[in-house]
Structure 1
Amino acid sequence: MGLLGSIVKTGIELNQKFSFENEAPQKQQETQLRALLEKAKDTSFGKYYGFSELLQSDDLTNVYKNTIPIFDYHQMHDQWWKQQLKFEDITWPGKPNFFALSSGTTGKSSKRIPITSDFLQSMKDVGASQVKSLPDFNFPEELFESEILMLSSSANLSKHENGHLEGEISGINVSNFPDWYETFYRPGKEIAAISNWDERLKKIVEEAPDWNIGAIAGIPSWVLLMLKEIIDYHQLDTIHDIWPNLTVYASGGVAFETYRSDFNAITKKPLVILDTYLASEGFFAFTARPNTMNMQLALHHGYYYEFVPFDDRGVDEHGNLLDKPCSLSIDQVALDQEYVLIVSTCAGAWRYQIGDVIKFTSLNPLEIKITGRTKFFLNTVGSQLSEEKMDKAMIHVAENLNITVNEYMVAAMKDSDTEEYYHQWVIVSESYVDDAAFKQELDKNLKAANKNYKVARNKALKDIKLLSISKSSYYDFLEKMKKKGGQIKTPKVMTENKMRKLLNLIS
């Protein structure tokens, strides 16, 4: 048992005891909204929408949502953020030193999200709140004197002609680590700055024996690939042969469950899996207590939230927001109801639709899980398949057939001859897959679990087709699409055109 680990753990426990975050959630959120409006009232956006006048209201939350429209990225960028690339005080005081190039799964890769100094601090504050929760997990002291491996996108940022630096949010965060982080952060800034994913991975694999890793953070698909590369290169049985103190894996970016069995296969002892909700637009939630992957919402860290019901009160049949959707505050939400998340942040995002769908799994404490993306809602012929429902079906079928499936893609397609609709699935597995058997089991499971899908299969959705591919084929596809490594996520629900491109590349 290390003395340093004991000291660090005790210090965190004392910090936890003296932390006071007991204010009612709605009160915390009203305080956040008031602080955001006060800070931005003299910006162009604040003057245009009369923030100074809004701040005089006794019913600030309702006046705010009745005054400011909801923006998606393109509206926010075209009307405001495009000017913020050149000028100061547009949606937030000053001019951002960084813009995040979104690594998300929808839209074009050239999305630029402003990253302000206040925003960078908010991410550190949420991280500090997660650290305060660690004593509840009763981790061994050795964890607190080991190192953390963060598998980020490249920290080698590019300089824009307007003077700011650009990169994915994880790379921006790493580039802003203080020098003293190097004592426990791996792979270190030098390796993290390698732009080419394959070269960066090779360097990590080679240097792995020199590190004492106790925790890993990153997107499951790429972390799993990295760990398998290390095991193969150093001829190990499990990753614990080289990192015996590895205890924690902080997942994020995509749902973890389809990867769980593969992680279990390469570890000697179970990892504690924490989930994180860290996007280009903010660090919104994190797992804060043991024996769950549900995430505690960050309520007092520079974010104000609204929740649009993911039903006919808020969205149309394709998952798009209505012109005037119902929008709820934190004190109006209900358990197990899906909501489109709307955020206002200290990066100058105002009533901004991220594109994520969440639901509350607990109201005390306030905990959420991400159930999917608004664009991952497959409902072309009324099937109403959310990402969460598809994930559950995929896990169930894979377990029944005794194989593992980490990634999958699906699209609603129309047969060019018959004009009838079908679902085209592509699944990724290292196991041998009987495509016909998997297709039959998947169809049966979705019918049993989802009445809307069953109705659609009896009417407009005439068939489903399924093709299994190897992981090497999948990675080849990602490389050809320039979607390889670090923080890249691929869409689970594709348009017909993108699916046809995928099938052509596979063939």
Structure 2
Amino acid sequence: MAILGSIIKGVILLKDAVTPEVNHIEAQKDMLVKLLETAKDTQFGKYYQFDSLLESDQIVKEFSNRIPYFDYNKINDEWWYKFHEGEEDVTWPGQPDYYALSSGTTGKTSKRIPVTNDMIEAIRQSGIKQVFALNNFDLPADFFEKEMMMLGSSTDLQEKDDHLEGEISGISASNIPTWFRSYYKPGEEIAKIDDWDERVKEIAKNAKQWDIGALSGIPSWIELMLQEVIKTHQLNHIHEIWPNLQVYTSGGVAFGPYEKSFNALLGHPITVIDTYLASEGYVATQIRPETDAMQLNTENGIYFEFVPFKPEYINEDGSLKQDAPCLTLDNVELDQDYVLIMSTVSGAWRYIIGDTIAFTDIERAEIKITGRTKFFLNTVGSQLSVNKMDDAIKDLEETYNTTISEYTICAKRAEDGEFYHFWYLGSDFNGATQEEISETLDNHLKEANKNYKVARSKALKGVKVKVIPADYFYEWSAANKKKGGQVKMERVMNEEKFRDFEALVNKLAN
């Protein structure tokens, strides 16, 4: 009998029994006050007069009226640059001990996002919440004695001046509690290897030594790691070497598009739990099995606001217009796409994280990631969000009995002078022609999206599809020094980047 596992599960059951339900609306109001109180004596707090704001009987409304929206460039150019010049108490008390490097999916150079000790603690508390939520998934006691593979970026953080820099997954893994280190794989030595391919080869080499019960990481890179383990040990599926693998916690992107290709690597189904860890904080985690939606972490270091994701509020470059209306948790609606706005214990204020979400349950504060503001394809009025694109990909998988590991899109004029959506799909379509695939994709989008259908009757001429090996997408990431870790593939590219992508594809094909 798994005695230790039974004890751990018993503690989780007890904690769940005595913990009251969270009132997320009240938790968010309290969080805003806490953030303002803590930062009132910072340069930012004095500039925006947090003292008087705290005396208002309408703090929420005054907060949104007084403080503008900030994207990374705006807050860095106006405020965070002072941290790099040695100033303290800029947007949060003191100086950050860490900076999360994030080139994301749209930027050419790495962003340097402050990560304070308060944020490290908030992430830790959200992680504990995730562990206690495992009680809802009815896992056997022996699961809690198995090891966990966390595949993120390197934990070998770079020292610069008086702080450390790295991707948020590496920062988080370097701060795991001492009691958890015996469960954590691939272990500190392998996790510090900076070269992603080398790190994965070491994982594959050592795979037989571990009894992995859970995996954690971005789906595309977890898949490649599993493929390498299977190839190295000449397996049919990953359960032949890790028979007790029962849970996968996804993160950063919607798992749906990867579901079919991921499951093909398994010997039997496992529990998939979605999480949402961004460079700016631990946003949300799935807490119950009857939905794949995630609950916002309303109590742990982040105050959320939501801007309706509508074309009239979005600039052509995907940024947010300053006069766009903003909502709080008590007045959002179901199934409406929102631009996510965050104020955090790392000194981000009304920060546009770049993701769009939709609520599936307001009382529980449960959401799904629906896309990126800069991945909103609105050329000639087509209004395609990433969730609509993902749905179209799943339809193609079912129609042609295939898997599509990755994809990207660009809207541009073809040689005939007409606008088309150019899709590159990482897959093998088993004999279907690219013209047939284009027609199927186009028909699905017309049925699923009325704006797309209208655009197709006017300025949008059609869809052009090219099927390429999925490896080409990973080579693109490698060529841009963005392989592994928190890296996500660009779903929508501008014409300049798309030219570079096509040039690499043509080079690899020849």
- Asked if these proteins are the same fold (TM beyond 0.5), I'd say yes
8 Å contact kept, 1:318–1:377: no
Q: Distance in 1 between matches of 2:444 and 2:120?
A: 44
Pair 327,247 (structure 1): closer, same or farther in 2 beyond 3 Å: same
In structure 1, the gaps of 5 or more residues are none
Letter in 1 for 2:418: E
Letter in 2 for 1:468: V
Pair 119,203 (structure 1): closer, same or farther in 2 beyond 3 Å: same
Q: Distance in 1 between matches of 2:459 and 2:311?
A: 22
- After TM superposition, the structure 1 = structure 2 runs for residues 178-189 of structure 1, keeping only pairs within 5 Å, are 178-189=177-188
Letter in 1 for 2:13: E
Query: 1:434 deviation in Å?
Result: 2.8
Q: Distance in 1 between matches of 2:21 and 2:348?
A: 25
SS in 2 for 1:134: helix
Letter in 2 for 1:347: S
Pair 487,87 (structure 1): closer, same or farther in 2 beyond 3 Å: same
Pair 319,198 (structure 1): closer, same or farther in 2 beyond 3 Å: closer
SS in 1 for 2:107: coil
Residue 225 of structure 1 is matched in structure 2 by: 224
Task: Provide Cα deviations, 1:482-502, integer angstroms capped at 9, x if missing partner.
Answer: 221222112100001111111
8 Å contact kept, 2:101–2:165: yes
Q: Distance in 2 between matches of 1:475 and 1:64?
A: 43
SS in 2 for 1:304: strand
Query: 1:401 deviation in Å?
Result: 0.8
Q: Which runs of 4+ in 1 moved over 3 A?
A: 312-320, 430-433
Residue 435 of structure 1 is matched in structure 2 by: 434
Residues 1:56 and 2:55 are matched in the alignment: yes
Query: 1:317 deviation in Å?
Result: 7.0
Residues 1:392 and 2:391 are matched in the alignment: yes
SS in 2 for 1:484: coil
Q: Distance in 2 between matches of 1:76 and 1:317?
A: 20
Residues 1:421 and 2:419 are matched in the alignment: yes
Letter in 2 for 1:169: I
Q: Distance in 2 between matches of 1:218 and 1:430?
A: 25
Task: Provide Cα deviations, 1:215-272, integer angstroms capped at 9, x if missing partner.
Answer: 1000000101111111111122221111111111000112211211122222122111
Query: 1:21 deviation in Å?
Result: 4.1
Letter in 2 for 1:112: R
Q: Distance in 2 between matches of 1:105 and 1:370?
A: 15
SS in 1 for 2:198: helix
Query: 1:312 deviation in Å?
Result: 5.4
Residue 402 of structure 1 is matched in structure 2 by: 401
Q: Distance in 2 between matches of 1:168 and 1:506?
A: 28
Pair 62,360 (structure 1): closer, same or farther in 2 beyond 3 Å: same
Q: Distance in 1 between matches of 2:372 and 2:311?
A: 17
Query: 1:320 deviation in Å?
Result: 3.6
Q: Distance in 2 between matches of 1:289 and 1:248?
A: 13
SS in 1 for 2:181: helix
8 Å contact kept, 1:313–1:326: no
Q: Distance in 2 between matches of 1:43 and 1:21?
A: 34
Query: 1:418 deviation in Å?
Result: 4.1
SS in 1 for 2:300: coil
Count of aligned positions: 504
Q: Distance in 2 between matches of 1:216 and 1:240?
A: 12
8 Å contact kept, 1:152–1:218: yes
Residue 468 of structure 1 is matched in structure 2 by: 467
Q: Distance in 1 between matches of 2:260 and 2:421?
A: 27
Residues 1:321 and 2:320 are matched in the alignment: yes
Pair 341,174 (structure 1): closer, same or farther in 2 beyond 3 Å: same
Task: Provide Cα deviations, 1:430-471, integer angstroms capped at 9, x if missing partner.
Answer: 554532221111011111111211121121111321111112
Q: Distance in 2 between matches of 1:68 and 1:326?
A: 13
Q: Distance in 2 between matches of 1:331 and 1:55?
A: 20
Residues 1:166 and 2:165 are matched in the alignment: yes
Pair 145,377 (structure 1): closer, same or farther in 2 beyond 3 Å: same
- After TM superposition, the structure 1 = structure 2 runs for residues 267-278 of structure 1, keeping only pairs within 5 Å, are 267-278=266-277
Residue 137 of structure 1 is matched in structure 2 by: 137
- After TM superposition, the structure 1 = structure 2 runs for residues 109-120 of structure 1, keeping only pairs within 5 Å, are 109-120=109-120
8 Å contact kept, 2:442–2:462: no
SS in 2 for 1:94: coil
Residues 1:107 and 2:143 are matched in the alignment: no
Residue 157 of structure 1 is matched in structure 2 by: 157
Residue 354 of structure 2 is matched in structure 1 by: 355
8 Å contact kept, 1:103–1:487: no
Query: 1:177 deviation in Å?
Result: 2.1
Residue 380 of structure 1 is matched in structure 2 by: 379
SS in 2 for 1:105: coil
Over the aligned positions, Cα root-mean-square deviation in angstroms equals 1.5
SS in 1 for 2:14: helix
SS in 2 for 1:183: coil
8 Å contact kept, 2:24–2:363: no
Q: Distance in 1 between matches of 2:479 and 2:321?
A: 36
Task: Provide Cα deviations, 1:25-77, integer angstroms capped at 9, x if missing partner.
Answer: 22111110000011111111011111111111111101111111111110000
Residue 481 of structure 1 is matched in structure 2 by: 480
More displaced 10-residue stretch of structure 1: 253-262 or 417-426: 417-426
8 Å contact kept, 2:251–2:274: yes
In structure 2, the gaps of 5 or more residues are none
User: TM-score, with normalisation over the residues of structure 1?
Assistant: 0.97
Residues 1:127 and 2:127 are matched in the alignment: yes
8 Å contact kept, 1:40–1:91: yes
